[in-house]
Amino acid sequence: QCFTCHSNPDIEIEFTDGSSRYGHISGSSYNSSVHGQEGMTCGGCHPDHQDYPHPEVTAVDSRAYTLEMNESCLECHPDQSERVQDSNHAHAMAEGKAEAAVCVDCHGAHNTKSLSESMVEIVATCRQCHTTIYDEYSASVHGEALSTDNNVDVPTCVTCHGVHTMDDP
């Protein structure tokens, strides 16, 4: 039912500051995601959006909306949530750095992959924010083995930093 509107590539969510972002959701992407494969409906993460018209968006901007929606992840994933609380990302968020990574920044909002996602994808995810470190890693023997030889038996970001704890190595 949600895809009746959200399959439209031009649908937008408008924020109180006047900015907007696309509200398009790819049905095939969602259906192949972990949540889609488990049969989760949109209402599982968006319980207040099951009726139309949806409640008015009160988030100031796209990032504020992301942070509001991220709370949904924590309800179903308490173990990961607990580990994240002591991570470098959570500490940065507590210091007021709203751009610090939250669940959907790494896992996607509607295309969440399983733990078996490729090592190359994990490194590319970290690259979104950590380009300088990514460049250093890519030039290293490990980065070259991963990208050139597709050798997944080499250390990546999460090998040293952890998956949800994101510690200093």
What are the tens digits of pLDDT across the range 142-165?
999 998 888 888 998 888 888 788
Residue 161: count of CB within 10 angstroms of its CB: 16
Instruction: Rank 15-24, 71-80, 117-126 by mean pLDDT and report only the highest.
Output: 15-24
Whole-number pLDDT of residue 11:
95
What are the tens digits of pLDDT across the range 27-71?
999 999 999 999 999 999 998 888 889 999 999 999 999 999 998
Q: 145: which residues sit within 8 A by CB, 6+ positions away?
A: 151, 154
Whole-number pLDDT of residue 115:
61
Query: Cβ distance 92 to 100 under 8 Å?
Result: yes
Query: Quick one: which of 33, 26, 32 has its CA closest to 8?
Result: 26
Nearest-angstrom CA–CA distance, 158 and 123: 8
Looking at 23-159, which runs of residues are DSSP E strands? none
**Single pTM value for the model:** 0.83
